[in-house]
């Protein structure tokens, strides 16, 4: 046993210091990115925000709206081949085909990829530290050498490097930060998300890899902090929950409207898709009633508007420049959730 006494930070622990800017309007900010991926050598262009591959948010209805803004959707792994075939070729280019790591998951992935023209794959597992996962990544890369593969989740630099070397183009970063994830409470395992992004992006970028921050964003400012910390993509679950484009019926309670939202490791999800929670494990997710928010269009505009505003505060004309223009300030959070004292966090400072 050892104790790592280095300070680790979450989104709530920092603010972004403003800097002199020559930008006159948020409209001048370009949020589009272009990436060339290490293993597939494919080029992708768009705004690097992804709807999470949960059955509530990872829907084709969500993808249709996000695609109009050049955003991505990780379709949940339970979508059938027939559902995939119904989607237009253009829309499918904005979607990840998601898969677990069981033998039946691999067979389903092969069937979907054989049936539709899609260049994006998401391999999703709660514990990305297992040798089984590394072996699965290598098997998938061997079968699909020219596809963009995103895989995770991990939270440390050395594992980001291992996944990248194993064949992953985009390493998914985050253990326990999600709003309906209870891994930290059930297992005691986790890592503050901002520090995880900083460390994993540094490791992956050194190998010409990319990272996706997955979990922990509850407001547009958190999305901006994730990009400022070095994330190439940001995946959102809770922020996209509760909309018309999400799965599930509208529930009315006490005069308010909700939609059911749960983690994919929750008892509700495992009972729905596997019949029960296996006797050897505990659920690591929870179920909540997410406030009904109507059409997702307004939420998209709010997130993108927040990002543009962040860029204007630090003088970044493009999203690509945000990382280089960011200085994080470590803050002390009081019980009333207001920031009342701060100091420049030189250890996380990024020079202009």
| Order of all β-strands in the sheet with 14-16 | 14-16, 328-333, 339-344
Query: Which residues face 235 on adjacent strands?
Result: 50, 214
Query: Which residues face 36 on adjacent strands?
Result: 43
How far, in Å, are 50, 122, 236 from residue 58 at the CA level? 9, 12, 10
Place of tokens 């059955």: 55
Whether the Cβ atoms of residue 14 and residue 329 lie closer than 8 Å to each other:
yes
CA–CA distance, 251 with 256 (Å, rounded to integer):
8
State the SS3 of 5-42: CCCCCCHHHEEECCCCCCCCCHHHCECCEEEECCCCCC
Q: What is the set of active-site residues?
A: 181, 183
Q: Which two tokens stand for residue 141?
A: 């890369």
CA–CA distance, 9 with 196 (Å, rounded to integer):
8
Taking the chain, what is the end-to-end CA distance rounded to the nearest angstrom? 39
Q: Which residues contact 244 (CB under 8 A, 6 or more apart)?
A: 61, 294, 295, 296
211's enclosing H/E stretch is strand 210-214
CA–CA distance, 29 with 43 (Å, rounded to integer):
22
210's enclosing H/E stretch is strand 210-214
CA–CA distance, 228 with 328 (Å, rounded to integer):
9
């Amino acid at each position: 046993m050892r104790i790592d006494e280095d300070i680790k930070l979450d989104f709530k622990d920092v603010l972004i210091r403003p800097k002199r800017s020559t930008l006159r309007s948020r409209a001048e900010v370009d949020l589009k990115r272009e990436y060339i991926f290490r293993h597939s050598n494919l080029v992708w262009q768009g705004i690097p925000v992804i709807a999470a591959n949960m059955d509530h948010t990872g829907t084709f209805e969500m993808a249709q709206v996000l695609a109009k803004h050049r955003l991505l959707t990780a379709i949940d792994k339970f979508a059938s081949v027939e559902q995939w075939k119904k989607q237009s070729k253009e829309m499918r280019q904005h979607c990840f085909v998601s898969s677990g790591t069981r033998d039946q998951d691999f067979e389903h992935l092969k069937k979907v990829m054989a049936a539709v023209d899609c260049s994006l794959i998401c391999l999703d597992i709660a514990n990305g530290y297992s040798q089984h996962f590394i072996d699965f990544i290598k098997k998938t890369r061997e079968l699909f050498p020219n596809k963009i593969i995103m895989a995770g989740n991990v939270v440390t630099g050395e594992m980001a490097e291992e996944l990248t070397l194993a064949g992953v183009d985009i390493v998914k970063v985050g253990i326990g930060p999600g709003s309906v994830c209870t891994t930290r409470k059930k297992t005691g395992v986790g890592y503050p998300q901002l520090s995880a992004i900083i460390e994993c992006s540094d490791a992956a970028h050194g190998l010409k890899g990319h990272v996706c921050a997955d979990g922990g964003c509850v407001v547009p400012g958190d999305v901006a902090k994730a990009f400022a910390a070095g994330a190439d993509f940001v995946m959102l679950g809770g922020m996209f929950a509760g909309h018309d484009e999400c799965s599930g019926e509208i529930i009315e309670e006490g005069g308010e409207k909700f939609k059911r939202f749960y983690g994919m490791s929750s008892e509700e999800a495992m009972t729905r898709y596997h019949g029960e929670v296996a006797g050897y494990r505990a659920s690591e997710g929870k179920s909540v009633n997410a406030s009904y928010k109507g059409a997702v269009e307004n939420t998209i505009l709010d997130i993108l508007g927040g990002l543009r505003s962040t860029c204007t505060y630090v003088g970044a004309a493009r999203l690509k420049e945000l990382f280089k223009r960011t200085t994080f300030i470590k803050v002390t959070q009081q019980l009333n959730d207001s920031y009342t004292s701060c100091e420049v966090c030189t250890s996380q400072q990024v020079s202009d």
